[in-house]
Chains A and B, each alone.
Chain A
Amino acid sequence: MMNGPAPETLLSLRGLTKTFGTFKANDSVDLEIRPGEIHALLGENGAGKSTLVKMLYGALQPDAGTIVWRGEEVTVPNPAHARHLGIGMVFQHFSLFEALTVAENIAVALPGDIPLRKIAADLERVSKEYGLPLKANARVYDLSVGERQRIEIVRCLLQQPDLIIMDEPTSVLTPQEVDQLFKVLRQLSSEGKAILYISHKLEEVRALCERATILRHGKRVGDCVPNAETAASIARMMVGADIHEVRPARHDVDRSNPLLSLKGVTMDARDTFGTALKDVSLDLYAGEIAGIAGIAGNGQTELFDVISGERLAGRPEQVMLLGRPIGHADISQRRAMGAVFISEERLGHATVPTLTLSENVILTRYRVNSGLKSGPFLNRGKAKSLLETITATLDVRKSAPDPAAQALSGGNLQKFIIGREVLEDPRVIVVNQPTWGVDAGSAARIRQALIDLAESGAAVLVISQDLDELFEFTDRLAAIAEGRLSEFEPVAKTNRNAIGLKMSGIFAGDEEAAQ
């Protein structure tokens, strides 16, 4: 399809500028990508990465500057045209349709009218080739975050692009899956396809990317060869200052009285594509941070639901909170006892997207924080002042004093959610995917808040798919696979490989049983 020698430069952006009102989201940004190159685009949340990429993908129009694609100046009026040019994108905020099947989600994004049967076959081939298992007839509504991301990736690959934009593609994959994906990306790169790789995971960028462009406050502040730098030196370029180092709590934990216990909890899957819990037991003690690793869709949602009270356990005494059976208590009763729960779904579960932040403060706290009520009425002033405290303590960046939850970026919204719950001084806190899709600076702040809470004597349970995170700040680790929970082990006595194996469902007990 390509005639003559391959051009030296596949894509070059010159002086790209985009202004929203008075805010310059992108200020004269230059970027060059060569064919077959894996190029990192780095920057904190709000640095302008998304804006830049949206202009490239035709979702936004630049105010100034030019896009040169294969040596010719082009305009990209819409995403369909971008795909026609050969620019594909894997979205961070998924662009999937929940009521449709996997195959339909792919068909709707592909040009032309391809029969679903052929899509299903292509899907199977590509997911096998790249190790991204997917069922063509599953409804997206029933799939986990991780599985949804696989659809995005496969959908992009099926479009045969020359440049693939990947926005945080690995945030929900296991180490093994990440390795597999990197193999795929390197293979694509050797086939001459370029990849623009947006990530906050600097170690990943160092391992994968040949060059990096760094944005800060909408401006390009530098280029580097990630391999020649350290994660810390890259982070310094991104933030413009040293990143706050997370300081793990290291003190002895009294393991006589657990604050939270599960005893042999068995529970049906939430829906046909969920995962049933099988005989799950755990004890969580004051002052510790326990972590549960696992690939998305292995029962984490069900586990979180049964602890938080969204679904009730079979018998009350199967869930014990502060020594009392609460398996049949509702979520407010559990909160009133000093437990807080942070769901993985930030918009729609942890917050109501269209309500303002102060209203979202009221929603989870009005029963426990008496200051939020005055007689039969809500005290909105108090809610706003609480919001100010949360904002200041966790450095939540927002565009207005009290914006709607959906107006915040992922990282800032998560800081708000964590702050809202942590500032109530809970005795027990359960967090599902605390830093998914959150930038390095915000993630560090969130982890530090959880560490500080554990040091003050609370029990912290973190469910996460990010092994780096779990190894960075938890004390004990277990893995969940197909609804079964492994034994917890001290972090110092285990390693990524061992946990990775457990995440794929191979537990110590099984090996003994097999022998």
Chain B
Amino acid sequence: MIEAILLTIVTASTPLLLAAIGELVVERSGVLNLGVEGMMVMGAVGGFLGMMWTGNPFIGAIVGILFGMALSALFGFLVLSLATNQYATGLALTILGLGLSGLLGEAYVGRSAIRMPALDIPVLTDLPIIGRLVFGQDLIFYVSIALVIGVAWFLFSTKQGLTLRAIGDNHASAHALGIKVIRYRYLAVLFGGGCAGLAGAYLSLVYTPQWAENMTAGRGWIALALVVFASWRPARVLAGAYLFGAVSIGQLHAQALGIAIPSQLLTALPYLATIVVLVIISQNRRLTMINTPASLGKSFVPDR
């Protein structure tokens, strides 16, 4: 029973974690992409289509990543090259992604997918409780954990990560130092798109191996809230993703057990928690300053 619950928590948390860690990198570069939900749902349909075409869920996942990246490339072109408003463009991206994915996936609604196989190591996978949890997951789960570690290492231990944080803090200063602001941001946006795409592919290949319209069901928005909740720190994104994942699973089990907590309240919990974190951060100007990428959401046009 406990093992089953923990396993469902992992599958509920992984897509949140993937989308949020990608968006964290985007926001650290000073770009706010509100189109996570759209990129994610494109990833879901892309993953499903790729799997249907090739019969291989791994290739499906790659197609999902590419779909997410394609949508983010469009976003990048609009906000970085044409300096459009990031908020409006991101919202438009979500609407576009939801519509386009519905169109592409229309013929496939209701067909079931080949589920991505899980790892199976003799002895280790058979260990009680932690066996399947740690050694019996699908590849994407391990990728998500590796991404958190990789992003944390990149941001805080490499020159390029430092440069990315500097751009997010003050793009004008970065430009004055000769840093290629737009190029860095394009790469960050594409990375974010790829992560959101993979998160979507996880939904249609692992979580519920089938395609349904709007199957992301607001997870992109939770991922966005999660980045703020984590105050732009990778380790906290990991903790937050599992917290929010656990809450959503707890909600199902609570209903099954007949515990009278209104499900709406639990659904709202991630957003409430995010608001609480924002209030705490905003109490102290120094905390805000040090945690929030200062040029977040601002357009940058080089002065030459």
Residues of chain A having any CB pair with chain B under 8 Å = 58-61, 78-83, 91, 94-100, 104-105, 107-109, 112-114, 139, 141-142, 271-272
Contacts and interface: CB of A to CB of B under 8 A. Distances in A.
Contacts of A60: 304
Contacts of B170: 96-98
Nearest to A139: B290
B176 A91 contact: yes
Contacts of A98: 169-170, 289, 294
A96 B169 CA distance: 9
Nearest to A81: B178
Of B165, B169, B178, which is in contact with the most chain A CB atoms at under 10 Å from its CB?
A: B178
Contacts of B163: 108
A113 B291 CA distance: 24
B24 interface: no
B169 A109 contact: no
Contact of B159 (A91, A99, A100, A107): A107
Interface string B257-277: 000000000000000000000
A70 B169 CA distance: 36
A63 to B, nearest CB: 12
B177 A109 contact: yes
B162 interface: yes
Contact of A97 (B158, B169, B285, B291): B169
A78 B178 contact: yes
Contact of B178 (A80, A94, A107): A80
A84 to B, nearest CB: 10
A284 B163 CA distance: 48
B183 interface: no
B176 A141 contact: no
Contact of A107 (B162, B285, B286): B162
Interface string B161-191: 0110110011001101111000000000000
Interface in B121-169: 158-159, 162-163, 165-166, 169
Interface in B7-56: none
Contact of B176 (A95, A99, A271): A95
Nearest to B180: A78
B173 A58 contact: no
A141 B166 contact: no
Contact of A141 (B159, B173, B289, B293): B289
Contacts of A99: 165, 169, 289-294
B178 A58 contact: yes
20 contacts: A59-B176, A60-B304, A78-B178, A79-B176, A81-B178, A83-B178, A95-B176, A95-B177, A97-B166, A98-B170, A98-B294, A99-B289, A99-B290, A99-B292, A100-B169, A104-B166, A107-B159, A108-B163, A113-B159, A141-B290
A96 B285 CA distance: 18
Contact of A100 (B158, B166, B285, B292): B166
Given A80-B178, A98-B289, A142-B286, A104 B162 contact: yes
Given A61-B304, A79-B177, 18 more contacts: A58-B178, A59-B176, A59-B178, A79-B176, A82-B178, A94-B173, A97-B165, A97-B166, A97-B169, A98-B294, A99-B292, A100-B162, A100-B165, A108-B162, A108-B179, A141-B286, A271-B286, A272-B286
A98 B173 CA distance: 10
A82 B178 CA distance: 9
Given A61-B304, A100-B165, A107-B162, A79 B178 contact: yes
Nearest to A107: B162
Contacts of B169: 97-100
A98 B292 CA distance: 11
A139 B285 CA distance: 13
B287 to A, nearest CB: 10
Contacts of B291: 99
Contacts of B166: 97, 100, 104-105, 108
Closest 10 A/B residue pairs (Cβ): A79-B178, A80-B178, A113-B159, A95-B173, A95-B176, A97-B169, A99-B169, A78-B178, A97-B166, A108-B166
Nearest to B292: A99
Contacts of A112: 159
Nearest to B302: A59
A486 to B, nearest CB: 30
Nearest to A80: B178
Contacts of B165: 97, 99-100, 104
A83 B291 CA distance: 31
B286 A97 contact: no
Nearest to A99: B169
A141 B304 CA distance: 28
Contacts of A100: 162, 165-166, 169
Nearest to B160: A113
Contacts of B174: 97, 108
A91 B177 CA distance: 10
Nearest to A78: B178
B173 A96 contact: yes
Nearest to A108: B166
A333 to B, nearest CB: 23
A60 B176 CA distance: 10
A27 B5 CA distance: 74
Contacts of A82: 178
A96 B172 CA distance: 10
B188 to A, nearest CB: 16
Nearest to B170: A97
Contacts of B178: 58-59, 78-83
A159 to B, nearest CB: 11
Interface in B177-226: 177-179
A71 B101 CA distance: 61
B282 to A, nearest CB: 15
A91 B170 CA distance: 15
Nearest to B284: A271
Contacts of A107: 159, 162
B302 to A, nearest CB: 10
Contacts of A141: 286, 289-290
